[in-house]
């Protein structure tokens, strides 16, 4: 597929974002250290900072874990978890081995369930969890030798203090 470049449509989309108060920023990844000393209060603080501009990624070592199995760092039974906030709801998508579990379906998690999952798995995340800027939109733009796809992200520079 070779989409057309529509400068007017691009302008209108950016103008509309400005009216809505959307602030553009660079793609940002904030790495958050997790280990056995990480308290549940620290995790609550991180979760309280999640909003519609962010995506939280962590490894849930206990997902689909059988009773006789022990959790491992990034093993076969766990799930890489991507969490987004929609209004007051937290939605998670789980994946492993290059594909999504539950056919990529987003599942609803309560705030407490999310906190518990992160707290339980904090020692199995290879020491980190990430908070990333969420993309706002993609646009094709004209460049010197043709066109290029640009991705615009939310500004989450205020979240860097979570490190």
What does the pLDDT average to over 39-58?
94
Task: For residues 9 and 89, give the distance between their C-alpha atoms in angstroms, rounded to a whole number.
Answer: 32
Alpha carbon of residue 157 to chain centroid: 15
What does the pLDDT average to over 47-62?
92
pLDDT > 80? residue 1: no
Question: pLDDT-based confidence at 81, cuts 50/70/90?
Answer: very high
How confident is the model at residue 40, as a pLDDT? 95
Residue 108: Cβ within 10 Å count: 10
Task: For residues 43 and 108, give the distance between their C-alpha atoms in angstroms, rounded to a whole number.
Answer: 19
Residue 79 structure tokens? 């799930």
CA distances from 36 to 14, 50, 51, 123 (A): 44, 22, 26, 6
Q: Which tens digits make up the pLDDT trace of 137-148? A: 888 888 888 888
Question: pLDDT-based confidence at 76, cuts 50/70/90?
Answer: low
What does the pLDDT average to over 64-82?
80
Q: How many residues in total does the chain contain?
A: 163
Task: For residues 107 and 93, give the distance between their C-alpha atoms in angstroms, rounded to a whole number.
Answer: 6
What does the pLDDT average to over 2-21?
86
Question: What does the DSSP assignment read for 44-103?
Answer: HHHHHT--TTEEEEEEETTTT--TT----TT-SS-EEEEEEEETTEEEEEEEETTEEGGG
Closest C-alpha among 30, 35, 29, 28 to residue 126: 35
Q: Mean of the per-residue pLDDT values for the chain?
A: 88
**In this predicted structure, which of 16-20, 79-83, 96-100, 122-126 has the lowest mean pLDDT?**
96-100
Task: For residues 127 and 146, give the distance between their C-alpha atoms in angstroms, rounded to a whole number.
Answer: 43
**In this predicted structure, which of 31-40, 93-102, 126-135 has the lowest mean pLDDT?**
93-102
What does the pLDDT average to over 19-36?
91
CA distances from 74 to 81, 84, 127 (A): 11, 21, 11
């Amino acid at each position: 597929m070779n989409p057309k470049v529509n400068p007017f449509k691009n302008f209108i989309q950016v103008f509309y974002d400005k009216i809505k108060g959307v602030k553009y920023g660079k793609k940002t990844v904030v790495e958050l250290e997790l280990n056995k000393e990480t308290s549940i209060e620290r995790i609550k603080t991180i979760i309280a900072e999640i909003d519609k501009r962010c995506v939280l990624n962590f490894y849930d070592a206990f997902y689909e874990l059988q009773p006789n199995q022990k959790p491992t760092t990034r093993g076969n039974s766990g799930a890489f978890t991507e969490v987004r906030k929609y209004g007051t709801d937290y939605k998670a998508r789980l994946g492993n081995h290059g594909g999504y579990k539950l056919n990529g379906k987003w599942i609803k998690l309560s705030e407490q369930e999310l906190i518990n999952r992160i707290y339980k798995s904090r020692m199995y995340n290879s020491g980190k969890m990430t908070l990333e800027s969420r993309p706002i939109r993609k646009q094709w733009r004209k460049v010197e030798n043709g066109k290029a796809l640009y991705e615009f992200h939310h500004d989450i520079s205020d979240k860097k203090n979570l490190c």
